[in-house]
Amino acid sequence: SSPAWTSSSSLSAANPTRRAVMRVIAIFLAFAATAQAFAPAPRFARATTAMTAAPEGSRRAFFGKASAAAVVGVVGTSFVQPSFADDEVAEVAAPAPAPAPAAPPAKANYGTFPVPAADEWGISGKDYYADAAKVTKHMQYATQMDKGTANMDTINKNMKKEMVDFVSFYRRFSNVAGKQSFSTLYTAINVLAGHYTSYGTKFPVPEKRRKRLYQEYSEIEKNIKKGR
């Protein structure tokens, strides 16, 4: 017997319903091929469909089944997920441990200075070097005080008054104002007085300013010893 389709002319002579079904099949097959190209390793079972000469009703049933199979293939391909073995466990990297907090910088030790007695404040006005040495010692103690030091406010207020009295008295003398010790002490007094003006007498001197002041104090003591 001869096959159902003998030439392209016989296919074009088929009814419009069959041509429409063919177009639907072609569209779904193209969509399935595109989805399969991007799907992660889909698995399909091969199936073959034998096309033999059959009556018109059998051909319509074939096209209907082929369309349904194409739809199922497209939908199934879109939702294919990679498979894992039962005993396979996904490895998750453990979070990195948080860095330890930085330790606070150690406070510099500039020495041990005696607490000024209540009756020690003030200059004599008779001996420049003795008064300069006293003011420097008092400034060293006031500079190293931390927050919570006993009588901090009172000591700083006395310190401020003593510095003002020292500068006001000795800068009038040209033989004193020209000394290297006086010039360096005058600079240090301005730094400490500036701290009192900015922060008041209840707050400690910041470390950066404290370091600078102790460098000045060291130079002042050297110049006093040398009579400069």
Cβ-based neighbours of 169, under 8 Å, separated by 6 or more? 123, 125
- How far is the first Cα of the chain from the last one, in angstroms, to the nearest whole number? 134
pTM of the model: 0.54
Would you state the pLDDT for residue 126? 92
Distance CA 61, CA 64 (A): 5
Question: Are residues 103 and 195 in contact, defined by beta-carbon separation less than 8 angstroms?
Answer: no
Distances (CA, A) of 17 to 59, 61, 140, 216: 12, 12, 107, 105
Would you state the pLDDT for residue 33? 63
**Run of H or E including 67:** helix 56-78
pLDDT tens digits for 19-78?
776 777 777 776 666 666 555 554 544 444 444 444 555 555 555 555 555 444 444 444
Q: Would you state the structure tokens that stand for residue 95, as one six-digit string?
A: 């979070």
- Residue 82, SS3 per DSSP: coil
The residue type found at 121 is W
Q: What is the Cβ-side half-sphere exposure of residue 202, based on CA atoms within 13 angstroms?
A: 0
Cα 44–Cα 50–Cα 56 angle in degrees, nearest 5: 120
Crossing angle of the two packed helices 128-144 and 207-225, in degrees rounded to 10: 160
Would you state the pLDDT for residue 36? 61
Distance CA 128, CA 19 (A): 120
Task: Please state, for a pLDDT cut of 70, what percent of the chain lies above it.
Answer: 60
Would you state the pLDDT for residue 25? 77
In this structure, what is the dihedral angle of CA atoms 135, 136, 139, 144, given to the nearest 10 degrees? Answer: -150
pLDDT at 121 over 90: yes
Q: What is the mean pLDDT of residues 143-161?
A: 93
- Token pair 């400690």 is found at 204
